[in-house]
């Protein structure tokens, strides 16, 4: 059983667009799409406010415990829920968060905003 | 006594420059500058390899325990060690990692690459 994985989705992202007061933001639309999908046990979807990656949104974060790398991915759109699902599922099945670069969805390969080392380094 | 703070410095950063095999990378120079400074007790400087923010390096990460936000800052140069020191010291003296925007060093205000919520949310 893999460790739990958190998939944080920035729901305040405007993708640089003008959104009226009653409009649904692209980040919220991406999150809504993701909630309709079947997820492996242990993947927890969590809406969050502003990941401060506004110039390159929509944005998600993958993390999962003290032994895994954390990843920030950007330049997503609400239509890319399947890509996020694929990338998150691959991440979920690692111990350390490192999915081989060639195995990642193409969008993840090209739009990694940052990665952060595990809290506990098994060195 | 504040919680411990980790300041991760990407030492592999080339800042987009050609660096010969014997050259010292800008990220390593920034880290070296930071090691010469006096730090508040509880701030731990840690060199790391590639934060995957290569297009906007040099890069650092500030984090500190499960109750603080994590921040990635970019577009730093080896000459900006004093800015990193100031920003990291302000962060260190917070409980949740949130330094008021106006209090942050100007470079930090303009060059936040991403922020990631605490693991434990006191909601």
- ipTM of model: 0.91
How much is the average pLDDT of A36-57?
94
**Chain A residues in contact with B113 (beta carbon < 8 A):** 52-53, 72, 113-114
| Residue A121 clears pLDDT 80, i.e. is over it | no
Asked if A8 and B116 come within 8 Å (Cβ–Cβ), the reply is yes
A5-116 architecture in CATH? 3-Layer(aba) Sandwich (3.40)
Burial of B7 (0-12, 13-18, 19+ CB in 10 A): buried
Confidence of residue B123 (pLDDT cuts 50, 70, 90): very low
Give the model confidence (pLDDT) of A96-114 as tens digits.
Answer: 999 999 999 999 999 999 9
**Chain B residues in contact with A61 (beta carbon < 8 A):** 114, 116
Could you state, in order of their start, the residue ranges of all structural domains in chain B? 5-116
Give the model confidence (pLDDT) of B33-67 as tens digits.
Answer: 999 999 999 999 999 999 999 889 999 999 998 89
Q: How many beta-carbon contacts under 8 Å exist across A and B?
A: 51
Asked if A70 and B72 come within 8 Å (Cβ–Cβ), the reply is no
List strands edge to edge, sheet with B5-10.
B43-48, B5-10, B60-63, B70-73, B112-116
Q: What is the pLDDT of residue B121?
A: 57
Rounded to 10 deg, the angle between the A81-92 and A26-35 helix axes is 60
Contacts of A52 (CB under 8 A, 6+ apart): B71, B112, B113, B114, B115
């Amino acid at each position: 059983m893999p460790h739990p994985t958190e998939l944080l989705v920035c729901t305040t992202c405007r993708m640089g667009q003008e959104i009226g007061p009653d409009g649904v933001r692209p980040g919220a639309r991406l999150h809504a799409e993701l909630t309709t999908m079947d997820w492996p046990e242990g993947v927890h979807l969590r809406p969050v406010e502003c990941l401060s990656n506004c110039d390159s949104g929509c944005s998600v974060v993958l993390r999962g415990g003290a032994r895994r790398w954390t990843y920030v991915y950007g330049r997503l759109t609400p239509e890319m829920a399947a890509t996020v699902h694929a990338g998150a599922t691959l991440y979920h099945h690692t111990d350390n968060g490192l999915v081989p670069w060639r195995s990642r969805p193409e969008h993840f390969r090209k739009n990694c905003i940052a990665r952060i080392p595990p809290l506990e380094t098994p060195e």
